[in-house]
Each structure stands twice: as structure tokens, then as C-alpha cells.
Amino acid sequence: MTQPSPGGGKGTFITLEGGEGAGKSTHIRFLAEHLRARGVDVLTTREPGGAPGAELIRKLLVEGPPDAWDSTTEALLMFAARRDHLERTIRPALARGQWVISDRFADSSRAYQGYGHGVAHERIETLYRLAVGDFAPDLTIILDLPVATGLARAAARHGVEDRFERFGPAFHERVREGFRAIANAEPQRCALIDADAPIEAVRARVLQVVTERLGIG
């Protein structure tokens, strides 16, 4: 039998955030398996992407040269994809009572386009209100590790979706600073986890946070 959300019948929205190579997809897989083994109906998804229209925008954002877009255009594209993802995938799944686990959500725009590229915080939050409204994750897990380690892990994948990796270490240091600032500003929603630890230790910490924050073992 599917276990209901702690919130009383509706689904629960969990996001995993972090810089390049932080291990988000690996730990989403671990977490989804853990929850499903306990009877939770889980949907995993990603950003940019996660819905048909958003996946088309994803290709524009994650492939090609770093200078394909200026910072404001990039932010607009991200929030356009996010709106499609939210309306076509996330909200319907939550309404069905599913738990949704997303590889990135709006904190990535705050960190990448905001801290990384320097788009003003006020502009990012205006886009958030327009595209997302008052909706927010129930829990955000931020995987933190040194930039050099993350970029080395990401480079080892040898994929075509490497546009953000090519912005350089200084950009990614600002992104890391942004994620840490978000975690410090919203401790009730966010949990910062050391992703430079052994993978089993990171996995255990992720499960501990989910158990403590959302009441599921």
C-alpha cells in the first residue's frame, strides 16, 4: 500500500541541489529505492527538463558554447522550462499523492544565474514569483563539495551536456558560495551535506535528513 505524505494525503516535493559532479543523480536513485521499499509512490525528475517542452529548452541550455546566451536570457529560459515542468509534471504528481524527487529546482537558478552570473537577486525572485508563485519544496538537500573535485567528476562523464562545466572554476566557486548561502538562509527547508565524504556516508546522511525532516524511516 502506498504510504501517504506526512502532510496529510498530498504528495511531498524533495529537491537535490549542488554544483557539477556533486552526485545528485546517484543519491536520487538511492533515495527513491529506499522510499519505494517502504511503500512510497515516487516520481523522479530533473531540471532543466522533466516535461516535453522543458526538455526541448534543456537542450538549448546545457549544450553548445558557454556564451550562447547572456545571463538574463539564460535565467528566462530556465524559468520557462521550470514553469512547464511544474505545471505538467510536478503539480499533477503531487496531486496524485506521489512523492516527487527532482534533480535541481529554483535554487539552481539562484546559485547559477544569480551568484554565478550576477543576475540581481530581485530579478531572480521576480521570475520565481511569475513562474512558480508561492510553491516551494518541502525539503531541499544541497550536496556540497570542492569545486575542483566536482568538475573532475563531471569531466569524467564525457557527455555533450557540458556547457555549464566550461564556465570555469571562478564561476563554480561563486555557485558553491550561492548554494551555501541558500542553505544558511533557509535552514528549515534546506540541509547542507558534505558530498566529499565516502558515498555510503553521504547516502546515510541523506536518508537521515529525510527521516528526521519528513518522518519516514
Binding residues for ATP: 18-25
SS3 15: strand
Cross-strand partners of 42: 99
Classify the C-alpha dihedral 131-180-111-16 as positive or negative. negative
Instruction: Return the exposure string of 13-30: e unless at least 16 CB atoms fall within 10 Å of the residue's CB, then b.
Output: bbbbbbbbbbbbeebbeb
Distance CA 112, CA 109 (A): 5
Do the strands 190-194 and 42-46 form a parallel or antiparallel pair, or are they unpaired?
unpaired
Instruction: Dig out the grid coordinates for 105 from the structure.
Output: 529546482
